[in-house]
Protein backbone atom coordinates (compact mmCIF):
# COMPACT_ATOMS: atom_id res chain seq x y z
CA UNK A 1 0.00 0.00 0.00
CA UNK A 2 2.79 2.42 0.94
CA UNK A 3 4.53 1.65 -2.36
CA UNK A 4 1.35 2.44 -4.25
CA UNK A 5 1.02 5.77 -2.47
CA UNK A 6 4.66 6.62 -3.01
CA UNK A 7 4.33 5.85 -6.71
CA UNK A 8 1.18 7.96 -6.86
CA UNK A 9 3.08 10.91 -5.41
CA UNK A 10 5.95 10.50 -7.79
CA UNK A 11 3.70 10.24 -10.87
CA UNK A 12 1.86 13.45 -9.90
CA UNK A 13 -1.35 14.87 -11.32
CA UNK A 14 -0.90 15.15 -15.07
CA UNK A 15 -4.28 15.94 -16.60
CA UNK A 16 -3.86 18.83 -19.01
CA UNK A 17 -5.47 22.21 -18.52
CA UNK A 18 -6.96 22.24 -22.01
CA UNK A 19 -9.56 23.46 -22.91
CA UNK A 20 -9.77 26.04 -20.10
CA UNK A 21 -5.99 26.21 -19.95
CA UNK A 22 -3.51 26.17 -22.83
CA UNK A 23 -3.40 23.36 -25.37
CA UNK A 24 -0.52 20.92 -24.92
CA UNK A 25 2.58 21.86 -26.82
CA UNK A 26 2.62 20.39 -30.31
CA UNK A 27 5.80 19.00 -31.88
CA UNK A 28 7.60 21.58 -33.99
CA UNK A 29 7.47 19.28 -37.02
CA UNK A 30 3.72 18.70 -36.68
CA UNK A 31 1.85 18.98 -39.99
CA UNK A 32 -1.48 20.67 -39.39
CA UNK A 33 -3.73 22.80 -41.59
CA UNK A 34 -2.16 23.39 -45.00
CA UNK A 35 -1.37 26.95 -45.96
CA UNK A 36 -1.37 27.61 -49.69
CA UNK A 37 0.05 30.73 -51.30
CA UNK A 38 -0.67 32.42 -54.59
CA UNK A 39 -0.28 32.86 -57.46
CA UNK A 40 0.73 29.57 -59.06
CA UNK A 41 1.86 29.54 -62.69
CA UNK A 42 -1.15 28.66 -64.83
CA UNK A 43 0.07 25.36 -66.19
CA UNK A 44 1.82 23.93 -63.10
CA UNK A 45 0.41 20.62 -61.92
CA UNK A 46 3.32 19.37 -59.82
CA UNK A 47 1.51 19.19 -56.47
CA UNK A 48 -1.56 17.65 -58.01
CA UNK A 49 0.46 14.98 -59.77
CA UNK A 50 2.58 14.28 -56.70
CA UNK A 51 -0.27 13.69 -54.30
CA UNK A 52 -0.76 9.94 -53.80
CA UNK A 53 -4.43 10.27 -52.90
CA UNK A 54 -5.63 12.94 -55.33
CA UNK A 55 -6.25 15.46 -52.57
CA UNK A 56 -5.16 18.42 -54.69
CA UNK A 57 -6.84 19.91 -57.71
CA UNK A 58 -6.96 23.23 -59.47
CA UNK A 59 -10.43 24.68 -59.12
CA UNK A 60 -12.39 26.30 -61.93
CA UNK A 61 -10.73 29.64 -61.26
CA UNK A 62 -7.35 27.94 -61.50
CA UNK A 63 -6.62 28.19 -57.78
CA UNK A 64 -5.06 25.27 -55.97
CA UNK A 65 -7.45 23.47 -53.63
CA UNK A 66 -6.42 20.86 -51.08
CA UNK A 67 -8.98 18.50 -49.56
CA UNK A 68 -8.03 17.79 -45.94
CA UNK A 69 -10.53 14.95 -45.93
CA UNK A 70 -8.33 13.05 -48.36
CA UNK A 71 -4.95 14.36 -47.25
CA UNK A 72 -2.52 12.07 -45.41
CA UNK A 73 -0.43 15.07 -44.32
CA UNK A 74 2.61 13.40 -45.84
CA UNK A 75 4.20 16.60 -47.05
CA UNK A 76 5.05 15.19 -50.49
CA UNK A 77 3.35 18.12 -52.22
CA UNK A 78 5.18 20.75 -50.25
CA UNK A 79 8.46 18.95 -50.89
CA UNK A 80 7.69 18.78 -54.61
CA UNK A 81 6.43 22.31 -55.18
CA UNK A 82 9.16 24.19 -57.09
CA UNK A 83 7.99 27.50 -55.62
CA UNK A 84 7.37 26.44 -52.03
CA UNK A 85 3.71 27.48 -52.20
CA UNK A 86 2.35 24.74 -49.91
CA UNK A 87 3.27 24.37 -46.26
CA UNK A 88 1.68 22.56 -43.36
CA UNK A 89 1.22 24.79 -40.34
CA UNK A 90 0.75 24.21 -36.62
CA UNK A 91 -3.06 24.70 -36.69
CA UNK A 92 -4.62 21.54 -35.26
CA UNK A 93 -8.27 22.66 -35.46
CA UNK A 94 -9.19 20.61 -38.50
CA UNK A 95 -12.50 18.94 -37.64
CA UNK A 96 -15.56 19.96 -39.57
CA UNK A 97 -19.27 19.20 -39.57
CA UNK A 98 -19.50 19.47 -43.35
CA UNK A 99 -17.50 17.47 -45.84
CA UNK A 100 -17.09 20.42 -48.22
CA UNK A 101 -15.63 22.69 -45.55
CA UNK A 102 -12.47 20.64 -45.46
CA UNK A 103 -11.25 21.95 -48.80
CA UNK A 104 -8.52 24.53 -48.23
CA UNK A 105 -7.94 27.33 -50.73
CA UNK A 106 -5.04 29.79 -50.92
CA UNK A 107 -4.98 32.46 -48.25
CA UNK A 108 -5.14 32.54 -44.46
CA UNK A 109 -8.12 30.17 -44.27
CA UNK A 110 -10.84 30.02 -41.69
CA UNK A 111 -11.65 27.35 -39.20
CA UNK A 112 -14.54 25.16 -40.31
CA UNK A 113 -17.65 24.95 -38.12
CA UNK A 114 -17.84 21.67 -36.28
CA UNK A 115 -20.88 22.29 -34.10
CA UNK A 116 -23.91 20.11 -34.59
CA UNK A 117 -27.23 21.45 -33.33
CA UNK A 118 -28.37 17.94 -32.56
CA UNK A 119 -25.23 17.11 -30.61
CA UNK A 120 -25.31 20.42 -28.74
CA UNK A 121 -28.94 19.94 -27.76
CA UNK A 122 -28.83 16.31 -26.69
CA UNK A 123 -25.25 15.32 -25.93
CA UNK A 124 -23.32 18.42 -24.87
CA UNK A 125 -22.79 17.14 -21.32
CA UNK A 126 -22.81 13.42 -21.98
CA UNK A 127 -21.76 11.72 -25.19
CA UNK A 128 -21.45 7.94 -25.18
CA UNK A 129 -19.78 6.54 -28.27
CA UNK A 130 -19.46 3.07 -29.69
CA UNK A 131 -16.27 2.81 -31.74
CA UNK A 132 -16.31 0.69 -34.89
CA UNK A 133 -13.14 -0.17 -36.81
CA UNK A 134 -14.04 -0.78 -40.40
CA UNK A 135 -10.70 -1.36 -42.10
CA UNK A 136 -7.81 1.02 -41.69
CA UNK A 137 -4.61 0.44 -39.78
CA UNK A 138 -5.51 0.77 -36.10
CA UNK A 139 -3.55 4.00 -35.63
CA UNK A 140 -6.75 6.08 -35.40
CA UNK A 141 -8.05 3.68 -32.77
CA UNK A 142 -4.80 3.91 -30.87
CA UNK A 143 -4.83 7.68 -30.72
CA UNK A 144 -8.54 7.86 -29.94
CA UNK A 145 -7.88 5.49 -27.05
CA UNK A 146 -5.32 7.97 -25.77
CA UNK A 147 -8.13 10.42 -25.06
CA UNK A 148 -9.21 8.12 -22.25
CA UNK A 149 -5.82 8.20 -20.50
CA UNK A 150 -5.30 10.48 -17.49
CA UNK A 151 -3.39 13.13 -19.46
CA UNK A 152 -6.34 13.82 -21.81
CA UNK A 153 -9.18 12.44 -19.69
CA UNK A 154 -12.12 13.12 -21.97
CA UNK A 155 -14.34 11.67 -19.25
CA UNK A 156 -14.10 15.21 -17.81
CA UNK A 157 -16.52 16.27 -20.54
CA UNK A 158 -18.84 13.31 -20.22
CA UNK A 159 -17.40 11.76 -23.39
CA UNK A 160 -16.88 8.05 -23.07
CA UNK A 161 -16.58 4.91 -25.17
CA UNK A 162 -19.11 2.25 -24.27
CA UNK A 163 -19.21 -1.46 -24.98
CA UNK A 164 -22.64 -1.78 -26.53
CA UNK A 165 -24.21 0.24 -29.34
CA UNK A 166 -27.43 0.07 -27.35
CA UNK A 167 -25.79 2.20 -24.65
CA UNK A 168 -24.40 4.65 -27.18
CA UNK A 169 -25.49 8.01 -28.55
CA UNK A 170 -23.56 7.44 -31.72
CA UNK A 171 -20.68 5.78 -33.53
CA UNK A 172 -17.11 6.84 -34.03
CA UNK A 173 -15.99 5.01 -37.14
CA UNK A 174 -12.43 4.49 -38.37
CA UNK A 175 -11.31 2.89 -41.61
CA UNK A 176 -12.61 3.10 -45.19
CA UNK A 177 -15.41 0.55 -44.51
CA UNK A 178 -14.15 -2.69 -45.96
CA UNK A 179 -16.57 -4.95 -47.78
CA UNK A 180 -16.08 -7.44 -44.98
CA UNK A 181 -17.13 -4.92 -42.31
CA UNK A 182 -20.05 -3.34 -44.14
CA UNK A 183 -22.79 -5.50 -42.67
CA UNK A 184 -21.37 -5.34 -39.15
CA UNK A 185 -21.21 -1.54 -39.37
CA UNK A 186 -24.79 -1.29 -40.61
CA UNK A 187 -26.02 -3.59 -37.88
CA UNK A 188 -24.15 -1.70 -35.20
CA UNK A 189 -25.60 1.57 -36.44
CA UNK A 190 -29.10 0.10 -36.44
CA UNK A 191 -28.61 -0.92 -32.81
CA UNK A 192 -27.92 2.66 -31.67
CA UNK A 193 -31.10 4.33 -30.38
CA UNK A 194 -32.17 7.61 -31.99
CA UNK A 195 -31.32 10.41 -31.99
CA UNK A 196 -27.83 9.29 -32.95
CA UNK A 197 -24.76 10.76 -34.52
CA UNK A 198 -21.85 9.40 -36.58
CA UNK A 199 -18.27 10.61 -36.45
CA UNK A 200 -15.80 9.74 -39.21
CA UNK A 201 -12.30 9.74 -37.74
CA UNK A 202 -9.23 9.81 -39.98
CA UNK A 203 -8.53 10.02 -43.70
CA UNK A 204 -9.74 6.46 -44.36
CA UNK A 205 -13.11 7.03 -42.71
CA UNK A 206 -13.58 10.33 -44.53
CA UNK A 207 -12.45 9.43 -48.03
CA UNK A 208 -10.91 5.95 -48.10
CA UNK A 209 -7.46 7.39 -47.30
CA UNK A 210 -4.63 5.43 -48.89
CA UNK A 211 -7.18 2.76 -49.85
CA UNK A 212 -9.43 5.12 -51.81
CA UNK A 213 -10.96 3.39 -54.84
CA UNK A 214 -9.90 -0.09 -53.74
CA UNK A 215 -12.61 -2.53 -54.79
CA UNK A 216 -12.22 -4.29 -51.42
CA UNK A 217 -13.46 -1.22 -49.52
CA UNK A 218 -15.74 1.81 -49.71
CA UNK A 219 -14.48 5.36 -49.93
CA UNK A 220 -15.30 6.22 -46.35
CA UNK A 221 -18.23 6.17 -43.96
CA UNK A 222 -20.45 8.75 -45.65
CA UNK A 223 -20.97 6.41 -48.56
CA UNK A 224 -22.85 4.19 -46.08
CA UNK A 225 -24.12 6.31 -43.17
CA UNK A 226 -24.92 9.99 -42.66
CA UNK A 227 -21.86 11.59 -41.02
CA UNK A 228 -22.16 14.44 -38.52
CA UNK A 229 -18.48 15.15 -37.80
CA UNK A 230 -15.31 14.63 -39.82
CA UNK A 231 -11.91 14.52 -38.10
CA UNK A 232 -9.06 14.69 -40.65
CA UNK A 233 -5.57 13.29 -40.20
CA UNK A 234 -3.62 10.11 -40.74
CA UNK A 235 -4.16 9.51 -37.91
CA UNK A 236 -5.62 12.69 -36.36
CA UNK A 237 -3.56 14.02 -33.47
CA UNK A 238 -5.46 13.47 -30.20
CA UNK A 239 -5.69 17.24 -29.82
CA UNK A 240 -7.37 17.52 -33.22
CA UNK A 241 -9.84 14.83 -32.16
CA UNK A 242 -10.59 16.28 -28.72
CA UNK A 243 -10.89 19.82 -30.04
CA UNK A 244 -13.25 18.54 -32.75
CA UNK A 245 -15.40 16.61 -30.30
CA UNK A 246 -15.71 19.60 -27.98
CA UNK A 247 -16.60 22.00 -30.77
CA UNK A 248 -19.07 19.42 -32.10
CA UNK A 249 -20.84 19.53 -28.75
CA UNK A 250 -20.84 23.32 -28.74
CA UNK A 251 -18.40 23.54 -25.85
CA UNK A 252 -15.86 26.36 -25.65
CA UNK A 253 -12.30 25.71 -26.79
CA UNK A 254 -9.36 28.06 -27.20
CA UNK A 255 -8.81 29.38 -30.69
CA UNK A 256 -5.64 28.12 -32.28
CA UNK A 257 -4.26 31.44 -33.44
CA UNK A 258 -0.96 30.17 -34.70
CA UNK A 259 -1.10 30.50 -38.45
CA UNK A 260 2.12 30.55 -40.42
What do you get for the CA distance between the two ends of the chain, in Å?
51
CB of 151 to ligand SF4, least distance (A): 28
**Residue 110 binding partner per list ligand SF4, other proteins, none, with a CB distance cut-off of 5 to 8 Å that depends on partner kind:** none
Kindly report the number of other CB atoms within 10 A of residue 85's CB atom.
Answer: 20
CA-CA distance, 39 to 163, in Å (whole number)? Answer: 51
Q: Is 48 exposed, middle or buried (0-12, 13-18, 19+ CB in 10 A)?
A: middle
Binding positions for other proteins, rule: CB under 8 A:
3-4, 6-8, 10-11, 14, 27-31, 50-53, 72-76, 130-146, 148-152, 161, 163-165, 175-176, 178-181, 183-184, 188, 209-211, 214-217, 234-235, 237-238
- Please tell me the distance from the alpha carbon of residue 185 to that of residue 176, in angstroms, as a whole number: 11
Q: Which of 53, 234, 51, 252 is nearest to 243 (CA)?
A: 252
Work out what residue 59 binds among other proteins, ligand SF4, none; the CB cut-off runs from 5 to 8 Å by kind: none
Burial class (CB in 10 A: 0-12, 13-18, 19+), 63: middle
In the complex with other proteins, which residue's Cβ is closer, 105 or 149?
149
CA distance linking residue 185 with residue 182, whole number of Å? 5
In whole angstroms, the minimum distance from the beta carbon of 1 to other proteins comes to: 11
Of 57 and 251, the one with the shorter C-beta distance to ligand SF4 is 57
Query: Which of ligand SF4, other proteins, none lies near 10, with the C-beta cut-off 5 to 8 A by kind?
Result: other proteins
- Nearer of residues 85 and 181 to ligand SF4, judged by Cβ: 85
Min. distance of Cβ 104 from ligand SF4 in angstroms? 9
Rounded least distance, CB 118 to other proteins, Å: 23
Amino acid sequence: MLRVLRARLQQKHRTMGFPSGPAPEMPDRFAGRPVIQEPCPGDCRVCRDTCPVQAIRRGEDGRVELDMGRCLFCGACSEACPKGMIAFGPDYQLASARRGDMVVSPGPGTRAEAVSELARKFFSRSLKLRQVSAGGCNACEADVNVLGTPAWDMGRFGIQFVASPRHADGLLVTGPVTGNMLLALEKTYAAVPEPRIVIACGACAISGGPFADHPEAKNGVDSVLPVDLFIPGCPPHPLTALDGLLRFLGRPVPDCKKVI
